[in-house]
Structure formats: structure tokens, C-alpha cells
Copies of this chain bind each other. A is one copy, B any other.
Amino acid sequence: EIVAAVEGALADGPLTGKHVLVTSGPTHEPIDPVRYIANRSSGAQGTAIAKALLALGARVTFVTGPAEVPPPQGVDLVAVQTAREMLEAVQAARDVDAGVFAAAVADWRVASASEQKIKKDSSELPVLEFAENPDILATVCASDDRPALVVGFAAETENVIAHATAKRARKGCDWILANDVSPATGIMGGSENAVTLITAQGAEDWPRMGKDEVAARLAQKIAEALG
């Protein structure tokens, strides 16, 4: 009834009947009620991937940090702030056919986050102690009921293929979409991306293209792998 109506509204395509989890955006890690640590992810690539999956007929659960780019229409939206909230949302949604982990999750949180605004008047500079955040990709890959296909991302500034290949093995995921975000490329915050897909079969360089085209090509690959 309601479910059927919603499903009827979805695009029909090679991913019809499949459910894909996509994470996107940065995470924000609080220092105190008014300050936080963030990273420069706009959410553009993750949002484009969700749209491309929807276009092929998939149901998409979209777990997003506070991104600049608005989330796509038609997804099951879960909005989070911190890495720990993102892990919780991902765990709750892991009963999917594939997971694409495009979020730029903060590696560390502030262990000593304050309930009150830290006053400037205090005579000493604040000291921030850090704690390691959960590794969402590795946690999902290590779970007994992991999705059949898990795709991670690697933003590298040097030795892209070597680092991304090592990351694929370390995390235990199926594919890594690696990109070179060194400032000279202009990719970080831009509309294009130059990626290499790392699989068990090796590395496949994709030509530099728009983030929408990267998304369409990845969605097509996912459809082939699940089909």
C-alpha cells in the first residue's frame, strides 16, 4: 500500500528492488557548545552518487553530516553531526545490498569537549585532548552481516594507488574509489574529480570528469556487481 506507492514512484532500472546505503558530507566534532572541528567536505560527491543510484531504481538510505550541498529528494534521509552518530545510523541501516561510504569522517574527536563555552578570560590557553573516532568502514566490513558490496573512499595527496590499495586491504572493503586531493589538482571543493577504482582485480584509472559522471559510472558498476 504505502510501501507499494513509494516503490512505484521510484525510477525503474537495473537497481530496482535493491537497497543501497550512502554516507556523505563531513562530520562536526564539538569542542564546546559553540565551537567544533570540521573538515572541508562539501557532500557534493556523496550526493551525486545517491542521485545516480536513485536514477537506476535503487532505494537509497542517505546518512549525511552537515554538508553544504542539500541532500537529494527521494532518499531515506538520516542527518547526523558526529562520527559516533554516523556509526550508529550506519549500524541501524546496514541491512542493505551495498554500502557506499563517501563521507569524510573525522578521524578524531575532542576527548575533553566542554559542556560550557570555554571563556577567553581564563588565563590559560585551552588544551584539547583527542580520542580516536570509530572506523565506520572497517567496522561495517568486519561485521558478520556486512552488505554484499562495500565501497570505500580514499582521499590521498601522494602515492594514490599504493595508499588506496593498502587501505582496501586494511579495511576489508570490496572497492576503493581513490582520488588525489592535493591542492594542485583543484579537486577539493571543485565540481570535477579524477578517481581510480581499486578492486581485487587491480586499479582502473578513470579520466577526469564531473562528479555527476563519476557518480553515474560508479552506480552503473554497482548495478553490474549486484545484478
User: Which residues of B lie under 8 Å from residue A125 when comparing CB positions?
Assistant: 108, 129-132
Number of chain copies forming the complex? 2
Given the known interface contacts A108-B125, A130-B126, A157-B117, the answer about A36 and B39 at a Cβ–Cβ threshold of 8 Å is: yes
A98-154 contacts to B (CB < 8 Å): 104, 106-108, 116-117, 120, 125-132
Given the known interface contacts A126-B130, A131-B125, the answer about A35 and B37 at a Cβ–Cβ threshold of 8 Å is: yes
Are A188 and B34 in touch, CB under 8 angstroms? Answer: yes
Q: How far, in Å, is A109 (CB) from chain B's closest CB? A: 10
Are A31 and B40 in touch, CB under 8 angstroms? Answer: no
A181, B43: Cα distance in complex, Å: 29
Given the known interface contacts A117-B157, A125-B131, A126-B108, the answer about A37 and B34 at a Cβ–Cβ threshold of 8 Å is: no
Are B34 and A104 in touch, CB under 8 angstroms? Answer: yes
Which one of B34, B127, B131 lies within 8 Å of A181 (CB-CB)? Answer: B34
Which one of B33, B37, B132 lies within 8 Å of A37 (CB-CB)? Answer: B37
User: Which residues of B lie under 8 Å from residue A36 when comparing CB positions?
Assistant: 37-40
User: Which residues of B lie under 8 Å from residue A35 when comparing CB positions?
Assistant: 37-40, 106
Q: Is A93 an interface residue (CB 8 A)?
A: no
Name the residue of chain B whose CB is nearest to the CB of A158. Answer: B116
Name the residue of chain B whose CB is nearest to the CB of A115. Answer: B183
User: Which residues of B lie under 8 Å from residue A129 when comparing CB positions?
Assistant: 125
A179-203 contacts to B (CB < 8 Å): 181, 183, 188
A108, B31: Cα distance in complex, Å: 12
Q: Is A155 an interface residue (CB 8 A)?
A: yes
Are B104 and A120 in touch, CB under 8 angstroms? Answer: no
User: Which residues of B lie under 8 Å from residue A131 when comparing CB positions?
Assistant: 125
User: Which residues of B lie under 8 Å from residue A126 when comparing CB positions?
Assistant: 108, 130
Name the residue of chain B whose CB is nearest to the CB of A156. Answer: B117
Q: How far, in Å, is A106 (CB) from chain B's closest CB? A: 8
Interface residues of A (CB under 8 A from B): 28, 31, 33-40, 104, 106-108, 116-117, 120, 125-132, 155, 157, 181, 183, 188
Can you identify 14 A-B contacts, CB atoms within 8 angstroms? A34-B40, A34-B181, A35-B38, A35-B39, A36-B37, A36-B38, A36-B39, A36-B40, A37-B38, A107-B120, A117-B157, A125-B129, A125-B130, A125-B132
